[in-house]
Amino acid sequence: MKLPLEDILANRNNLLVEFKRNIDVKVEDYISAFANTEGGYLVFGVEDGGAVIGISDSQREDFSKRLLNICKNMSAFCDIYADSLDQKLFLILYVHPKTTKFSVRTSEGKAFIRVNERIQPLTDDEAKQIIKNTEATIKCFVAMSFRKQEYPHLEDYYDAMVRAADKCAYNLKVEKNDDNPFNGDAVNIIKQNIYDCHFMLADYTLCSPNVFFEQGYAEGIGKEVIQTCENKTDPPFDVNHNNTYFYANAHQLEEQLVVSFNEICGRIKI
């Protein structure tokens, strides 16, 4: 909640509070820690030791813009407001506790928590275990060529996608249409799988027509799509104008997807 500075100072022993003179590289760490714990306050214009110095009007405007961009990039929900005390101006950032089951991370992909008035890193293994102890699952539908008998590398590439999902910090499941047996119209089943997923991965290796169709349908209903492609394939302009992760082998694909999966999953609210 947006408490006035006087109340924050009076109740600092019962609140998560950090004092900052300026915005530094650790601000993202504190935002992550507060969001992943119980929420808290960053007060700008006070020295770490508690000396009250205030900020200027120009600093307030500059700090507000910078903090707004930082919070947006971290998917943290924050209130930024100014207050004054003893004729000095202060800027306060209130970080709300996260409302999802997933950790709020810095722009470098790191997550922190607050323990005994200190922040400490939340390792990927710890974050992953917390997520996988919940029922929330993010689903990614994979569209890729079915011609694995003609091109066996496709099996390796799909296995790399599964490994990347297992390594990312979220409870992510990737699945393509032929993973499970089904009855009925295959196209309707594909559409339903795309509709049910949170985002899609379209692999353009061999430029199979089904991938164009499935990505077009996904984008038509507002799904975000990750594009990948073996670097021996040259996708046409229709899709090549979008960002595409090109790879030379399954290992490189896996490494790229871990980063991409973490980024997109961090923005998904279940």
30 pLDDT tier (thresholds 50, 70, 90):
very high
Q: Render pLDDT for 70-116 as a digit per residue (tens, 0 to 9).
A: 888 787 889 999 999 889 999 999 999 887 667 888 888 888 988 87
The CATH class, in words, for 132-265 is: alpha beta
Domain with CATH 3.40.50.450 in the chain: 132-265
Q: Render pLDDT for 231-264 as a digit per residue (tens, 0 to 9).
A: 999 888 878 788 999 999 999 999 999 999 999 9
CATH assignment of 5-122? 3.30.950.30
* Pairing, β 244-247 against β 224-230: parallel
Domain with CATH 3.30.950.30 in the chain: 5-122
Contacts of 209 (CB under 8 A, 6+ apart): none
Average of pLDDT values for 221-227? Answer: 95
203 pLDDT tier (thresholds 50, 70, 90):
very high
Contacts 24+ apart (CB under 8 A), 110-117: 110/29, 110/32, 111/32, 111/36, 111/169, 112/29, 112/30, 112/32, 112/33, 112/36, 113/33, 113/36, 113/37, 114/16, 114/33, 114/34, 114/36, 114/37, 114/38, 114/40
